[in-house]
A and B are shown apart, each in its own frame.
Chain A
């Protein structure tokens, strides 16, 4: 990748404070804006331990868990996307390339079809998401040329298609009046039902996935040089790639099982981050996570505020994200060619 690609308008030193300030602003907006009218004074009172009963309920039980969940999901998806793109040395890769979204989606809609409790639906989604990627990796490793990126991606496409067929079958079997709307909405992504218990359930998985990536960020960056070069620098490429795929999958599966299938973040945010930081993974990872968190909080704030009815996140991420993405592409186009 070309060096021209780097930093087309932000200097290296100012980047971190800028991103942190952006995230803080997004979080503030997320906490302050919502369909239930709360003034800043009321919010201050509640956060200070006082405030009216209903304001306390809205803020502590509904809005804060949701803002936190959005930040978590955004950071997880963006970090996973950046990781996958680096691991596969392919800018078109998103976290669901190995079928994790389709797998988690299948498990979750099956849970909806069976009428399971909400936490069980999320757990089923989480487990099937992981199982799908495990199946893909198992297949890829046992096939000829095992462990090759191309074989892996093709296996992911095949298994993902199977999971997609399973989703269609579940939709067909679902009660069109009660279950089908819930399934459709889930597949478009939403944090409308996010509560503290959900955050508590997903947080460990996301931290467990993110931590090794942060610790191994230097080595992961070497993968971008190609397997042979990485090897000559002492990095066992195939094994490292499997490990970070596992980590990224863990995060994605946790995010998807909580928020449903939210497209675009995992593909787009890493590119936005790369245009600011350049391709170095140790700088890309934190930038992608911060941008992802902030972007998701803003999108989710819009999802609950622009109408009385929830707007599915998948729609908003595409509508807001696609133009930004194209604009960035135009600005950075010269750097895109290798």
Chain B
């Protein structure tokens, strides 16, 4: 008699555990970038993004389904986001360096599906399997490479059950990439500038060639001077930048952009001497990376105008306004546009 209640309890828990997935599943099966077959709800209404790139992709495709941000938007980002999405809570990050999202917090947010968008390797595949096993929530990983951007948008649209929206955005991505290719076809290799990507207040952090943070520069035909190095980010000495003598400096740091003209160790570099140091706009998402997601599509056009002022076609301001309207759901007036682009 003494052991009966325990057995009954065990039975009840087992029954509940086996019933849970059965209750949740009234949807379909998708295959993600790791080749796993994942069962997702027919029309997920609550979706959690595992990292910043996924967060941005989720925002542009189905903002009403977001349960929160990986990192809360900064004050400066708020005018460039839909108000209802901007107010969502910060939940933390599940992937990349440092898990800041606790699985219990994750479950408290009651998502129906977790989406991740970015690097596909064994680490992230493992993470997907582990989180899915532990939380009982479907976890879909989608390839974040630049080249497959249109397909990835469609794939994510499929998971989120917003295929028309995804098709519109994917078509935009395809035309933006095609436009870049057409532009590059008319510019011989030797007329493409060498580019240094400056990060940090001293401008001494950079992203090496092939890294996800600098990928866009190569996509627009710029020659990243930082060719060596295995990691994504590296620190270099100002002397090394002098030796590289880049034609153009792209920076994501406001302080550096403001001060480089007066910093003695940067004088004599062609980019500085010719006034070709450009600060990449960063609100609500960066033009270069931060995060490396669909936000880079407008970065392609911006970079084309900065690297090839004589060749780039179209009105950049109109393009930016159109992109913000289509992707972010905000209408920019002239002052907002000027503030964003720093013109």
Binding site for B on A (CB under 8 A): 34-37, 53-54, 57-58, 61-63, 66, 115, 117-118, 171-172, 175-178, 180-182, 185, 190, 192-193, 195-196, 304, 307-310, 312
Closest B-chain residue to A54, C-beta based?
Answer: B268
Residue pair A182, B240 in contact (C-beta under 8 Å): no
Q: A61-B264, A195-B265 are in contact. Are A35 and B237 (CB under 8 A)?
A: yes
Residue pair A176, B93 in contact (C-beta under 8 Å): yes
Residue pair B205, A182 in contact (C-beta under 8 Å): yes
Report if B275 contacts A (CB, 8 A): no
Q: A57-B264, A57-B267, A61-B265 are in contact. Are A307 and B229 (CB under 8 A)?
A: yes
* From B52, B239, B240, B268, residue with most partner A Cβ within 10 Å: B239
Q: By DSSP majority rule, is chain B's interface helix, strand, loop, or mixed? A: loop
* From B100, B234, B237, residue with most partner A Cβ within 10 Å: B237
Per-position binary interface string of chain B over residues 251-290, scored 1 when its CB falls under 8 Å from any chain A CB and 0 otherwise: 0100100000000110110000000000000000000011
Closest B-chain residue to A195, C-beta based?
Answer: B265
Contacts of B100 in A (CB 8 A): 172
Contacts of B98 in A (CB 8 A): 171-172, 176, 180
Taken together as a complex, chains A and B put the C-alpha atoms of A176 and B233 apart, in Å, by 12
| 23 interchain pairs, CB-CB under 8 A | A34-B237, A35-B237, A35-B240, A36-B239, A36-B242, A54-B242, A57-B265, A58-B242, A62-B238, A117-B201, A176-B93, A176-B96, A177-B52, A180-B97, A181-B205, A182-B200, A190-B235, A192-B235, A304-B237, A304-B240, A308-B236, A310-B234, A310-B235
Q: Which of B93, B199, B200, B208 sits near A309, CB closer than 8 Å?
A: B208
Shortest distance between the CB of A240 and any CB in chain B (Å): 41
Contacts of A312 in B (CB 8 A): 235
Contacts of B199 in A (CB 8 A): 178, 181
Report if B334 contacts A (CB, 8 A): no
Closest B-chain residue to A176, C-beta based?
Answer: B97
Binding site for A on B (CB under 8 A): 52, 71, 93, 96-98, 100, 199-202, 204-205, 208, 213, 226-229, 233-240, 242-243, 252, 255, 264-265, 267-268, 289-291
Residue pair B208, A53 in contact (C-beta under 8 Å): no
Q: Which of B71, B202, B229, B239 sits near A175, CB closer than 8 Å?
A: B71
Residue pair A308, B240 in contact (C-beta under 8 Å): yes
Shortest distance between the CB of A62 and any CB in chain B (Å): 5
Residue pair A185, B268 in contact (C-beta under 8 Å): no
Contacts of A190 in B (CB 8 A): 235
Residue pair A185, B235 in contact (C-beta under 8 Å): yes
Shortest distance between the CB of B200 and any CB in chain A (Å): 5
Residue pair B202, A193 in contact (C-beta under 8 Å): yes
Taken together as a complex, chains A and B put the C-alpha atoms of A325 and B242 apart, in Å, by 36
Contacts of A195 in B (CB 8 A): 264-265
Taken together as a complex, chains A and B put the C-alpha atoms of A193 and B265 apart, in Å, by 9
Contacts of A307 in B (CB 8 A): 228-229
Residue pair B240, A36 in contact (C-beta under 8 Å): yes
Contacts of A35 in B (CB 8 A): 237, 239-240, 243
Taken together as a complex, chains A and B put the C-alpha atoms of A336 and B290 apart, in Å, by 54
* From B71, B100, B200, residue with most partner A Cβ within 10 Å: B200
Taken together as a complex, chains A and B put the C-alpha atoms of A308 and B224 apart, in Å, by 13
Contacts of B235 in A (CB 8 A): 181, 185, 190, 192, 309-310, 312
Q: Which of B202, B226, B236, B267 sits near A118, CB closer than 8 Å?
A: B202
Closest B-chain residue to A57, C-beta based?
Answer: B268
